[in-house]
């Protein structure tokens, strides 16, 4: 680890924390219906949307009605995204004349963007028209993120309300999340990104002369190159802020027109974690005890920071085989050193490692380097972060409500240890909450493992695994870990844009989204109906380092026990092969 690397990590974490606390306070005010005066200019937009949609903002819902609203909205969103892809050849804003997307790819992409996964089995600039990118994909980047935040707010209300059967209005929470939070932040970030060189245009692709002449595969001279452009900055902004990750271009945030400068890279990195970290402060504000928010954030940080350092150090050390060949790959003034395969030289190892860990911690599928080219341990960490359930910061809203489910499990275990009824934030945790928590934690795990097993045991699944041995297995395991936990990043080397993987991964995304979200809503409804329990001498404090340690242990043990055998067949054995050969 170099001093420059430590400085870059410090600037990233320092900038993130500096922005997170005020944003967390602001979001708490928004969801409590106490919009700050400086955001009052957006209130007419909110009210107009209610009138257009026929929403009574004063009418609240039960948790079942809330769930029904989410499911209906998601079905309509899926049909809209699917239909636009299938008909894009007949629709406007298609200067390249791109044809309709295939049915299986359209299904996979529609599920992906509706579930906030943003897995991409296609190349954006060669598959999707401008209209599809904006109306289908970018719109879902906004609303799928807002749905995740709405479910989190409902869970918080479960702790703050007592003897209540109503938990809020889905349409109100959805509109407030988009209008007051995601739209203003995205607009500001998009303007800054345009200033850095991120492209934003409706013009056709540009053909430019090459600086050096070359030849094609048949030996014919090539003198020009066609450069893909489009309305990218607006999509890049919300893809990062909404922890979506779907790139406008095929190589995502490694593309110079999507992430051109060190400043754009730093801003996008902060944007990925900005709302997930800020929501920890929102949680503390809304439950009336800021220490609770700090405790949850500390638990996430205790897992995140060491794993970040592991990836940086592992990638900086490089490959043992290079040392055996007497190749100098030590970091110095004249070279970055380490394992630079699959990484942009303008970002280097530290920024590539920070991005890989951040994006997989935050349920954001964007990449600025190829995770498939990382060392075995460097690739294991992003994979394991996803397998933990995307609760280490995680997606906007979904990461925190996932961690709160683990917190319920932690207090339940603590209660068993001392023989007391478990309590969390003044609510007794009973059998129903534990059953729902078990569903939310175990079903995505089962989806990942079963999906991986089916893929490697069937002819259709093995047909497009282009690497043999443990690395090929790792590519399949990574794909299902990404889909089943709604991340969206991928290892290369796996041909996933075919009916088998489009269907299997699409189903995994649905389970990872709704089989977690619905149990969380059920928990919220159950907690809201309970009375408040006053703090007593035997109540476990949930804002102390002891509880933070217990929570971290529960998250890690569940992840380790669930996935260690599979990891042993992939990246762990690959690391042993690399170090012993």
pLDDT for the residue 317:
87
Q: What H or E segment, with its residue span, contains residue 565?
A: helix 545-567
Give the span between the Cα atoms of 411 and 577, in whole angstroms.
41
pLDDT for the residue 321:
73
* Two structure tokens written together for 126: 């060669």
**Weakly modelled stretches of the chain, pLDDT under 70:** 333, 581
| Among 571, 312, 336, 572, CA closest to 467 | 571
| Among 391, 394, 548, 577, CA closest to 474 | 577
Q: What H or E segment, with its residue span, contains residue 225?
A: strand 221-227
Exposed, middle or buried by CB within 10 Å (0-12, 13-18, 19+), for 96? Answer: middle
For 452, phi then psi, to 5°, come to -65, -45
Give the side-chain half-sphere CA count within 13 A for 233: 20
Give the span between the Cα atoms of 110 and 132, in whole angstroms.
11
For 144, phi then psi, to 5°, come to -65, -35
Which sign, positive or negative, has the C-alpha torsion 528, 534, 536, 540? positive
Q: What is the residue extent of each domain of the chain?
A: 3-34+50-207+226-580
What is the distance, to the nearest Å, from the Cα of residue 126 to the centroid of all Cα atoms in its chain?
24
In a 3-state reduction of DSSP, which class is residue 227? strand
Question: In DSSP terms, which residues pair with 115 in a beta bridge?
Answer: none
């Amino acid at each position: 680890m170099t001093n420059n690397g430590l400085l870059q990590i410090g600037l990233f974490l320092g900038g993130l924390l500096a922005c997170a606390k005020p944003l967390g306070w602001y979001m708490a005010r928004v969801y409590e219906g106490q919009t700050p005066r400086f955001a009052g200019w957006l209130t007419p937009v909110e009210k107009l949307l209610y009138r257009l949609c026929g929403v009574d903002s004063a009418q609240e819902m039960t948790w079942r009605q809330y769930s029904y609203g989410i499911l209906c909205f998601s079905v309509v969103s899926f049909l809209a995204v699917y239909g636009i892809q299938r008909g894009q050849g007949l629709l406007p804003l298609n200067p390249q004349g791109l044809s309709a997307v295939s049915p299986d790819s359209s299904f996979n992409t529609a599920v992906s963007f509706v579930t906030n996964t943003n897995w991409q089995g296609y190349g954006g600039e060669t598959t999707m028209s401008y209209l599809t990118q904006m109306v289908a994909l970018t719109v879902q980047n906004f609303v799928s993120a807002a749905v995740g935040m709405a479910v989190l707010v409902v869970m918080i209300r479960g702790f703050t309300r007592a003897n209540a059967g109503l938990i809020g209005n889905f349409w109100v929470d959805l509109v407030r999340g988009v209008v007051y939070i995601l739209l203003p932040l995205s607009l500001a970030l998009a303007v800054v990104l345009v200033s850095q060189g991120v492209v934003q245009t409706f013009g056709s692709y540009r053909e430019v002369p090459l600086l050096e002449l070359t030849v094609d595969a048949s030996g014919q001279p090539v003198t020009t190159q066609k450069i893909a452009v489009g309305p990218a900055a607006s999509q890049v902004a919300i893809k990062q802020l909404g922890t979506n990750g779907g790139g406008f271009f095929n190589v995502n945030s490694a593309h110079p027109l999507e992430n051109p400068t060190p400043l754009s890279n730093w801003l996008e990195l902060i944007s990925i974690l900005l709302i997930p970290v800020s929501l920890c402060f929102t949680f503390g504000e809304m439950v009336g005890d800021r220490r609770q928010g700090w405790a949850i954030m500390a638990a996430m940080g205790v897992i995140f920071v060491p794993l970040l350092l592991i990836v940086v150090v592992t990638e900086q050390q490089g490959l043992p085989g290079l040392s055996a060949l007497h190749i100098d790959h030590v970091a110095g003034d004249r070279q970055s050193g380490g394992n630079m395969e699959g990484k942009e030289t303008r970002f280097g190892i530290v920024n590539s490692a920070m991005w890989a860990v951040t994006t997989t911690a935050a349920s954001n599928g964007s990449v600025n380097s190829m995770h498939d080219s990382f060392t075995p341990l460097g690739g294991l960490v992003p994979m394991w972060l996803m397998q933990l359930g995307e609760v280490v910061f995680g997606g906007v809203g979904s990461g925190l409500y996932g961690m709160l489910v683990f917190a319920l499990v932690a207090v339940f275990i603590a209660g068993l240890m001392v023989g007391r009824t478990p309590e969390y934030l003044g609510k007794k945790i009973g059998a129903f909450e534990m059953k729902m928590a078990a569903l939310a934690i175990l079903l995505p795990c089962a989806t990942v493992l079963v999906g991986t097993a089916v893929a490697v045991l069937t002819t259709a699944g093995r047909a497009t695994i282009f690497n043999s041995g443990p690395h090929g297995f790792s590519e399949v395991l990574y794909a299902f870990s990404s889909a089943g936990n709604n991340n969206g990043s991928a290892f290369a080397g796996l041909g996933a844009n075919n009916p088998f993987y489009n269907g299997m991964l699409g189903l995994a995304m649905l389970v990872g989204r709704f089989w977690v979200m619905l149990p969380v809503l059920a928990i919220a409804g159950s907690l809201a109906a309970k009375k408040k329990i006053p703090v007593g001498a035997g109540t476990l404090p949930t804002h102390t380092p002891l509880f933070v340690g217990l929570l971290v242990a529960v998250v890690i043990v569940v992840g380790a026990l669930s996935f260690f055998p599979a990891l042993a067949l992939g990246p762990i054995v690959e690391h042993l092969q690399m170090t012993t050969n």
